[in-house]
Amino acid sequence: MDKPDKTLDLGSETVSKQKLSRGRNDYVFGKSAQSKELLRQIELVAPTNYSVIIYGESGAGKEAIAQTIHKKSKRARNPFIAMDCGAMSKELAGSELFGHEKGSFTGAIGTKIGHFELANGGTIFLDEIANLPYDVQSSLLRVIQERKIKRVGGNKEIPIDVRIIVASNENLNEAYKRGKFREDLYHRFNEFHLTVSPLRERTEDILMYANFFLKMANDELDKTVEEFSAEVEDLFVKYPWYGNLREMKNVVRRTVLLTDGKTVEAKSLPFEISNFARTTMAITYEKHEIPIEAGIPTVEDVKDEKPDLKSVALGAEYDLIIKVLKDVNYNKSKAAKILNIDRKTLYNKMKAYNM
């Protein structure tokens, strides 16, 4: 019996069940130049003890890449512990990272082991590290320097041996220049960094990932959907995938659930994908070589076309909402304020666009 491949490096759009059986937390490497370079850098840094920064947009698979680095390292048999720093309040971040002793603060009804202690001997992954409160960054710097932790409310120093991998969707070099992130902590982390390209910049990989998620959804839902129609494949390649792999995975799961036959048709796709070409005038952009970011086509751009004015307006509105949401890290209250609409109106528009 053949042994599973060491990596999920898929050079074609066919995904075997053998590769699928490796689990859902493995990162799938595509055939694009960007994917091949990413894999090369991972193979280079994984055997070392370097701290690593992984840059990439939300949904790009940064945690799965961190797990891949861990699995290819000498620490592979030891724990891999992940923590989302963006979800931690200032009050709880220290306890989550370093643990606490019973009675150290209101609500501390027992001793808690922190993420660093749990990861001892292995790897800790700190996602959205730029969102970590500034004073907690100071505590983290001390831990990295001394390789020891103290639980909140405790006096005992606990030695730790942990490799640190962090991820961010913003440039930490720029963050420390703005005073948001400690410069000395940035340099501690920046022994090596990787950048995960957005899916829209790796069009060669799009259908491969779609087929991978199709196999995964079939396994999960106990279905036998075999393929995407040519129209769906065309839409997938043209759509910009704002949410990257996470968005694609969710879209494919939804379409498989809604598909009765063997082929996924465009009618099963969310509105923003099935109507993308129409609402953003994609044909016009492509014909006149105007980047999507250029906004609504001018009269000169479309003088030879017969544009649907309502569709153009819908597309522009959709693109603006997406852009503002990304700019404010999906904080809906801030987005509504920038868009000069109330929060309820924003929710209704997001619902209408099936966001």
Task: Name residue 126's beta-bridge partners.
Answer: 83, 166
Q: What is the pTM of this model?
A: 0.72
d(CA 140, CA 94): 9
- Compute φ and ψ for 271, nearest 5 degrees: -55, -45
Q: How many CB atoms lie within 10 A of CB 18?
A: 12
Q: Which domains does the chain have, with CATH numbers?
A: 33-195 (3.40.50.300), 199-352 (1.10.8.60)
Which pLDDT score is estimated for 355?
67
- List CB contacts of 292: < 8 A, sequence separation 6 or more: 240, 280, 282, 285, 319
d(CA 330, CA 231): 31
d(CA 114, CA 93): 10
Burial 19-58 (b: 16+ CB within 10 A, else e): bbeeeeebbbbbebebbeebbebbeebbeeebbbbbbbbb
Work out the burial of residue 107: count CB atoms within 10 Å of its CB; fewer than 13 is exposed, 13-18 middle, 19 or more buried: exposed
Look at the chain and count its residues.
355
pLDDT digits (tens), the chain, 355 positions: 444 343 333 333 333 332 322 334 568 889 999 999 999 999 999 999 999 999 999 999 999 999 999 999 999 999 999 999 877 777 788 888 998 888 777 777 888 888 999 999 999 999 999 988 888 898 899 999 999 988 888 888 899 999 999 999 889 999 899 888 999 999 999 999 999 999 999 999 999 999 999 999 999 999 999 999 999 999 999 999 989 999 999 999 999 999 999 999 999 998 888 877 555 544 333 444 444 444 444 444 444 555 555 556 667 788 888 888 888 877 888 888 888 888 778 877 787 766 6
- Report CA 123 to chain centroid distance, whole Å: 19
d(CA 133, CA 123): 22
Which pLDDT score is estimated for 52?
98
